[in-house]
Amino acid sequence: MTDRTSIDESTVQRTLDGRPGAAASGSPVPAVTMRGIAKDFGGVRVLHDVDLEVQPGEVVALVGENGAGKSTLIKILTGLYTASEGTIEIDGEPAVIRNPRDAERLGIRVIHQDRHLAGRLTVAEQLFLGSRTAFLTGRQLDRRAERELLDLVGLDVPGSTLVDELSVAEQQLLQLAIATITRPRVLVLDEPTAPLAAGDVERLFRTVRALQAEGVAVIYISHYLQEVRDIASRVVVLRNGERVGALDLADPDATLDAIVQLMVGRSVTEFGDDERVAADAGSEPVLAIDALTVPDRLHGVSITVRPGEIVGVTGLVGSGLEELADAVVGLRAHGGTVRLGRAGTIRSPRAFVRAGGAYVPANRHRDGILNRQSVRENLTLAALDRIAGFGGILRGRRERAIAADLVERLDIRPANDAAVAGSLSGGNQQKVVLGRWLAAGSTVFVLDQPTSGVDIGSRQQIYAEIDALVAQGAGVLLVSVDLEELIGLADRVLVLYRGTIRTELPRSQATADTILAWSTGVAELAPVPEPSPVPEPSPDPEPSPDPEPVEGPSTTSRNAASPTRGASA
């Protein structure tokens, strides 16, 4: 099979007419055209007369807040939903898409935000599922899968590995390989970089640019607007189920602020300008991790989190970051010790929660939400002791009051605590997961990629809740590949590299460049400059005025340094 990622950059740029994401010239017939698309659920219209057009070899970004209608529109294109109104054309010909098989026959492939993979299959079985590989033995299949994954997306894992054993980021790269190995006509990427570190984002972009060079039309959905500018030529904005605008990103007026204004109808600042009192370095830790070890993944990791402190941890795929949070909360077997306050050693998730711990997992769809239960049941799940009466019988009025308060406080949409949690958008599901622990009154929060795939409005609310928690004395361990998030929130940033913590950066030193240098090992390889020679003192030095006293930092600013993944939305 052709190695698409081997196409050189000059070829890609010539094909793209010199602009990121631009279609090749001389392509008058769009690869995909959607006109007047509308969708009703139970008599409620959620999409209103939406148009979308993408040329061959073009990347068009589709953006909007969670619940704006992006996923619904894409599910219509890929056959998961049927449009109530409107038409679809592929290469200028009318197309009827009743199910995913129809979409696949038309050459439409999608990487969904929620990973659609069979966890008990091996990587090789998942990659070639449905293809004609019956003549290959198990080892031959594994070797072919390993070559394809390395060539297509740079993923280096044994073909015999179970899909469930892959990290979230590795599963995302596997999905990209599955979509590209079939040589699609139209490729839809729904939040493809949400679980990826910066280095893996560039790896994905190389693959996308190579596909463009082959004439593939790409619909790119992302909340990371700087990435949108880097990869797309146009952006289409949805709000409340309607198309509210489209911008040519070559236009100087198509700024990030302009896109955000279209998305939310107002100006939004993620990180406030208020200051937070620094944690007392002498206070007793609320979370103490000592010599945490997971075989082949983590090696002697030690972290302390004090009351009122946010400690960030980051690293690249394979650094051990994916296993850290699960090990801390007792979901993954490990060596070393984890303690919450004065509680004993934490050995299980039950003990972690009983000691006041809260966990927001990276994969909310699989591990965070009870998809078939109501929003109310999800919100109060960890607070049953607070709403149970005599004999353990739940007090319905108390349960409804707690749920209604959190729905309003977190602006969960729809504002209906009886709604099925699995039907909510990703951002609203994440608010429900966080709200569960607010209801429980937890004091130690382990947040694993807490705003992955979450729109700018929801991110702002989640960040405000995190700030409020630490202001009340809670401790937060923030595990994230989003450097902008770490720089904007964390008091200290720890960097994992090959299973060990290589550095600890205070807020004043936590820049994107510095974090990336340590994440990739470049910082350790940098030559140490030789000390400058000390000049001979003059025989009669002039007396210098006393220096002005410099006060030690008592507060930490909420102003973030320049982000690495840009504005997110």
- Domains, the chain, in order of start with CATH, read 32-117+166-264 (3.40.50.300), 287-520 (3.40.50.300)
Q: How far apart are CA 131 and CA 153, in angstroms?
A: 19
Place of tokens 């990347």: 59
Greater confidence (282 vs 493) lies with 493
Report the alpha-carbon distance of residue 141 to residue 160 in Å, rounded: 9
CA angle 201, 205, 209 (to 5 degrees): 175
Would you state the pLDDT for residue 377? Answer: 95
pLDDT average, residue stretch 115-140: 80
CA-wise closest residue to 440 among 399, 379, 365: 379
How far apart CA 294 and CA 331 sit, in angstroms, is 12
**Greater pLDDT, 142 or 182:** 142
Q: Considering the entire predicted model, what is its pTM? A: 0.62
Q: Which of 116-130, 379-393, 513-527 has the lowest mean pLDDT?
A: 513-527
> Do residues 153 and 192 lie in contact, with contact meaning Cβ atoms separated by under 8 Å?
no
pLDDT greater than 60 at residue 35: yes
Percentage of the chain beyond pLDDT 70 is 83
Please write down the HEC assignment for all residues of 140-176.
HHHHHHHHHHHHHHCCCCCCCCEHHHCCHHHHHHHHH
- Return the number of other C-beta atoms located less than 10 Å from residue 376's C-beta: 22
Judged against a pLDDT cut of 70, whether residue 111 lies above it is answered with yes
The answer for residues whose C-beta is within 8 angstroms of residue 432's C-beta and 6 or more apart is 369, 375, 378, 379, 410, 412, 421, 424
Beta-sheet strands, E only, within 335-428? 335-340, 357-360
Q: Is the pLDDT of residue 232 over 60?
A: yes
At 279-315, the pLDDT tens digits run 777 899 999 999 999 998 899 999 999 999 999 999 8
H/E stretch holding 113: none
Is the pLDDT reported for residue 3 higher than 70?
no
The residue with tokens 């004999």 is 391
Task: Say whether pLDDT at 23 is over 50.
Answer: yes
Averaged pLDDT for residues 535-559: 43
Distance CA 199, CA 163 (A): 22
**Phi then psi dihedrals of residue 116, to 5 deg:** -100, 80
Residue 249 has pLDDT above 90, yes or no: yes
d(CA 417, CA 374): 7
Q: Read off the tokens for 84.
A: 């109530």
* Least confident stretch, 242-251, 426-435, 540-549: 540-549
Q: Is the pLDDT of residue 529 over 90?
A: no
475 contacts 275 by C-beta, under 8 angstroms = no
For the record, the structure tokens of 165 come out as 């054993």
Whether pLDDT at 555 is above 90: no
Task: Report the distance separating Cα 70 and Cα 64, nearest Å.
Answer: 7
Residue type, 427: G
As a whole number, mean pLDDT of residues 39-47 equals 86
- CA separation for the pair 327, 338 (Å, rounded): 9
What does the DSSP 8-state code read for residue 560?
-
Distances (CA, A) of 464 to 9, 166, 403, 471, 492: 42, 32, 19, 11, 18
Q: Which residue, 427, 49, 78, is CA-closest to 244?
A: 49
